Amino acid sequence: MTNAKIAELRSAWESHAARGDHAAAYSLEQEIDALERQAKREAVQQQAEAAESRRIAAVTAAKAEIEKIERHRVARAELEKVVAELETATAAVNAAMGRLPKAWTPCRISYPTGETFSDPAQQEAYNEALGDYRYEKFEPLRLRLRLPAVQDILADRARGCWDIISTADSRF
């Protein structure tokens, strides 16, 4: 708007100067100078306001980044706790898996076979000596169901761990 007003006043100034109306031309020239100074002040003020606006945007972005950093610190501390817990649990699982074959061998070897003798007297003596243990029944261990389930869970979790490891090592 100011530039349009200045252009209009310049046109009027040229008209007055051409007619020789120097007093009116001088007055218009003073008004034009004042408007030009005002336009320059407004331009400087707009630049300052734009710079301040950019500075405020940068400070706001920095505050948001600080909040992200703080959230990441908290999340990272929680992850460290979970990883430490997982390492402890892994040591326990590893120890239990190491004890599994050692526990299986005596269990397998000690399983009663129930001797059968061809001599009836010998078989009767054997059965009497067994007494109440003769009809001992053991619940099935169902290892075909239980241990593969453990292995499947461990394998599935290991795949999930691998995804996390791949992302974490490449990004963090």
The domain ranges of the chain are: 1-111, 119-172
- Measured between alpha carbons, how far apart are the two ends of the chain, in Å? 54
Flag the least confident range among 11-15, 39-43, 68-72: 11-15
pLDDT-based confidence at 172, cuts 50/70/90?
Answer: low
Q: Which residues contact 58 (CB under 8 A, 6 or more apart)?
A: none
* pLDDT for res 94: 83
The half-sphere exposure of 95 on its side-chain side, counting CA atoms within 13 A, is 6
Q: Which residues contact 9 (CB under 8 A, 6 or more apart)?
A: 28, 31, 32, 35
pLDDT-based confidence at 47, cuts 50/70/90?
Answer: very high
Of 118, 110, 117, the residue nearest 136 (C-alpha):
110
* pLDDT for res 14: 84
